Structure 1
Amino acid sequence: MDSSHSRHSRSRVRRLLMPLTAGVCAITLVGGCSGSGSDSVEPSSSPTGAAQGSASRATNDLQDDYQAVIKDVLPSVVQIDASDSLGSGIVYDGKGHIVTNAHVVGGEKSFKVSVATGGKVLSASLVSAYPEQDLAVIKLDKVPDGLKAAKFGDSEKVEVGQIVMAMGSPLGLSSSVTQGIVSALGRTVSESRSGGGTGATIGDMVQTSAAINPGNSGGALVNLNSEVIGIPTLAATDPQMGDSAAPGIGFAIPVSMVKTVADQIIRSGRVTDSGRAALNITGRTVVDDSYQPAGVALVSVTKGGAADKAGLRVGDIITKVGDAPVTTITSLSEALAGEKPGQKVEVTYTRGSTEKTAEVTLGEI
């Protein structure tokens, strides 16, 4: 299953209605007559009536929770106009910093920002982008009164099954909200370069069933405590359906990585410690006699880098990292996404017709 980025081009706007719905499972209990043969039962003693009342209260409670979260968080979610595209962003602090996706800002340096609560359109400038993790920070040129920063959660407390809401501007429909659950954790997803994508391979992503559409990128994935737990970034596509969206399969960058990158950009103007492992090489995918991807050939090896220190050289073809097979550049990136700088891994490669292995102490991107 491939993943396409959620960047929205004005030329592809289509009308889409996305109502917020809450699913409720009502359980009806069937009870027999009790007592002295009476055929009538008081409504107050009916198990069915009690169940319906309980379900109704649960529905009202959940609806109240949804509305409270929307009221809390939506003022912190903005729409970003990046010249030829629209995306979303989250107010990061009271100084006017806004965190979003790198593919939302693209190559632009200045932006128009609209807040969900209305008011005049604000101008903003790029602080820095980090395409390797598809994150960026922009800053409002003038901070308006009452600007509200979002509350960011803890990735360690995110669990499968938690109810979440995605907030942003899908298809240019600002202040839109969809709901779903956390479907899975720890996904490694590679982003396409086509259509403005960064081509990044991102690890530890949050998979969600909340609808994510073009324009949602850079917005907020929020739990019922009004905490941002991720930034919606990718929506899965189904190659068997002409790469159309695969409903209910979206991915968000985890809040831990968002805070790590945003804090460094705000403090230093760039990412100084990526925390991402690398072999410190450039490579290309090679094919076998059947024209099938068969490994990654080293095109260049950084002097003093991880691969160089382990004895790898230009022309070697990497076929495995640890137990993970490597057939393409993307699969190599995915194999490294779960590792950390300084860790030791066994790299299997071929040199000429000979298969070799090397223990590599991983470097950093």
Structure 2
Amino acid sequence: MLLPGTALLAAALTVSGCTSGSRSSSSSSTTAGAAVATASPSVSNSLQDDYQRVIANVLPSVVQITTASGLGSGIIYDGKGDIITNAHVVGTASTFQVSLANSTTLLDATLVGSYPDSDLAVIKLSSPPGGLKPAAFGDSGKVEVGQITLAMGSPLGLSSSVTQGIVSATGRTVTEPKSTDSPGATIGNMVQTSAAINPGNSGGALVNLSSQVIGINTLAAVDQETNGSAAPGIGFAIPSATITSIADQLIKDGKVTNSGRAALGISARTFYGSDYKPAGVLIVGTTPNGPAASAGLQAGDVITKVGDTPVTSLSSLTTALASLSPGSKTTVTYDRGGQTKTADVTLGTLGP
């Protein structure tokens, strides 16, 4: 479900992962009873040409990934066969089959590393063929609302599919639903897009008109008021800056040593008030010389706010921190012995 920090979204919306639970297409098609309308002469041939150019440039870099439990998408990261995808696509698997956009041959791949906290993973082709086309990654810090985007992947098992939309918002903080393949990670700075994202799109590319990957398709919103049906035009992608940082570490070391995620340097649990409702986060311990300890926070303090964001539970604390950066300063409001206090904390980095 969506947590505080995504207040501009309807409260009835939640999000769902976009990994297909089937290894084959389950889609169906219909033909309209009326004659197919011809394109209006006012349609810009230039824009159409741009779409086709981007698809020709990027689609060869997008692959389909199959595991024993389902399928998803991935992006060729380099010429050595490394492929970036979502951690919830790989799940607990260590071996995979990969289909390239220009081939029907199934290629074997193995896991390089997975980082569920950011829902990213890298797999590698066991015998990379010649002619692999790595994707070009753009600067997600320059992404602006209104930019045209194309989402590429294998929705419902339909490989090499493309949908179009715009960037609807940036800087979204979204919490994934928990599942057997996802711990329910809270991810900050996500790109919201109106391009259709469906099951099987996870791990695919969100692309700008400069043929650059600006995000990795990860989540689609669903409307709980309609029994969890899809909420059209509300999807989320992990930004390219996070993708490249995590991928480079996984390829080099097989693990992540610098998450890029803010942390207080505490161990904690949800604190319940006298009415047995969540009322904050109780600090159980602090990292010596860590951000919280250096600011004077100690075991027994109950955090109730980070900046202007109320904190009532561990999940709300995670959400508040996900929108902040390591090295930045924030004010932490806490209770100690019945008194409300504040501390200015310079945030650290969440460990591996």
In the superposition, the TM-score normalised over structure 2's length comes to 0.87
* 8 Å Cα contact 2:26-2:157 kept in structure 1: no
Matches within 5 A, 1:200-219: 200-219=185-204
Residue of 247, 251, 255 corresponding to 2:232: 247
Residues 75-121 of structure 1 show CA distances to partners (whole Å, capped at 9, x for unaligned) of: 11001112212110000111111001111111111111111112310
Partner of 2:22 in structure 1? 10
SS in 2 for 1:152: coil
175-184 or 196-205, which deviates more: 196-205
Residue of 135, 145, 161 corresponding to 2:130: 145
C-alpha displacement at 1:62, in angstroms?
2.2
1:222 equivalent in alignment to 2:200: no
1:100 equivalent in alignment to 2:85: yes
Partner of 2:48 in structure 1? 63
In the superposition, the TM-score normalised over structure 1's length comes to 0.84
Flag the 1:18–1:117 CA change in 2: closer, same or farther, 3 A.
Answer: farther
Which letter maps to 2:80? Answer: K
Residues 287-311 of structure 1 show CA distances to partners (whole Å, capped at 9, x for unaligned) of: 4455543222234433443223333
Residues 42-97 of structure 1 show CA distances to partners (whole Å, capped at 9, x for unaligned) of: xxxxxxxxxx75x14x1x32222222221211111001112212110000111111
Q: Distance in 1 between matches of 2:276 and 2:228?
A: 23
Number of positions where the alignment pairs a residue of Structure 1 with one of Structure 2 = 331
Residue of 249, 261, 265 corresponding to 1:280: 265
115-124 or 347-356, which deviates more: 347-356
Q: Distance in 1 between matches of 2:121 and 2:243?
A: 9
Q: Distance in 2 between matches of 1:295 and 1:17?
A: 50
Flag the 1:110–1:18 CA change in 2: closer, same or farther, 3 A.
Answer: farther
Q: Distance in 1 between matches of 2:166 and 2:327?
A: 35
Matches within 5 A, 1:53-202: 55-56=42-43, 58=44, 60-202=45-187
Partner of 2:334 in structure 1? 349
C-alpha displacement at 1:314, in angstroms?
3.5
* 8 Å Cα contact 1:134-1:198 kept in structure 2: no
SS in 1 for 2:46: helix
Residues 1-50 of structure 1 show CA distances to partners (whole Å, capped at 9, x for unaligned) of: 3222212212897425599xxxxxx9xxxxxxxxxxxxxxxxxxxxxxxx
Q: Distance in 2 between matches of 1:330 and 1:149?
A: 36
Unpaired runs of 5+ residues, structure 2, are 1-12, 32-38
Which letter maps to 2:62? Answer: V
Q: Distance in 1 between matches of 2:51 and 2:27?
A: 25
Residue of 326, 330, 352 corresponding to 2:311: 326
Q: Distance in 2 between matches of 1:159 and 1:111?
A: 35
Flag the 1:83–1:352 CA change in 2: closer, same or farther, 3 A.
Answer: farther
Flag the 1:326–1:13 CA change in 2: closer, same or farther, 3 A.
Answer: farther
Q: Distance in 1 between matches of 2:264 and 2:104?
A: 49
SS in 1 for 2:197: coil
Q: Distance in 2 between matches of 1:209 and 1:284?
A: 37
Q: Give RMSD over aligned pairs.
A: 2.3
Which letter maps to 2:16? Answer: S
330-339 or 161-170, which deviates more: 330-339
